Structure 1
Amino acid sequence: METVPSQEFALREKMAAFYAGHQAWLQGWLRSRLGCPQDAEDLAQDTFVRVIGSALQPDRLDAPRSYLLTIARGLTIDLFRRRDLEREYLAAVAHLAEDSLPSEEERAQMLDLLVQLDTMLDGLGKGVKDVLILAQFDGLSYQQIAKRLGISLRTVNYRMARAMEHCCLFRIEHGLPLP
């Protein structure tokens, strides 16, 4: 039988006590906000996984419930954004013929990609995001973008450079391959 070093054992004990002391409260708080016990349970577990993954020791938290709420709120926002994206995706493919519908695996992969893209775009300012979307998704030239948005060509170039930098950094930070 393998022995666990005393420091690691002590940390496990602290985390277990932290979980036991706050899990029911957090799950109740989430259930009252979400109205769904299953979602509340999932998000509570995800919150504690984030705390454990952060390597932050529970006894070093000044306000543990505030910290848990901050994480849980972020996860709740992510849940709603993902569901909105899924709803929009399903509406977009609803008109396809039965034999053209994506498989469940393809749907899951596409949804994951859409969530990554949405997260990446969320980090951009509105002006930068508008330029990127008009160029990449609408296929407009920089001249056309400048005219449509009523900005100079130089501003379009600047915003596009910022968008590309942001997207590259996002991909690097999230371990995604660069184009």
Structure 2
Amino acid sequence: MLGLTPVSSAIKDGVNYFYRPGGPYWQPDIGIEGLMPWYIDTNIRTYYRDGSVKFDIQLARANQLTNNFFFLTGLRSILATHTVVKNEIGNGLNQMRYILRPYYRLKPGLNIFTEYEHDEEYGALKWILRSQGESTTQDTITLGVAVLFLKSQIYSGIIL
């Protein structure tokens, strides 16, 4: 008997370009992306900008309901260590996103989906947005096609 647990993770880095808010700027990042136990897709990134370290944490899990029909649920939070008003970064919890995505697999690597995302702002960021007359919540519905390029997985396990 072979007990297999998929383990797939990678350390990543890069640079993001933001045009707004606060004018154009580059923001370096580093992160970890992979699969945690119970098949929870994990994407954790950290950025640095004007003395503030920002953490972007996303967790998602897809459940198979029928042979080709799946339902993904996810959470995404953005936290920061300092407030940078011109870039709309607040100290502490900035944002929570709740994601619901049913999708249908047409064939391996090709899915059609609809996604509902509820975005809620918190703390200093909420105050910054309210002072500018902007909304602190947002609901988005997306329809689309996803083309997936499969990556290899490393399996670890114990042979009994």
What range describes the TM-score normalised by the shorter chain of this pair? Answer: under 0.3
Q: TM-score, normalised by structure 2?
A: 0.24
Flag the structure with higher strand content: 2
Whose RCO is larger (CA < 8 A, sep 6+)? Answer: 2
Greater helix percent: which structure? 1
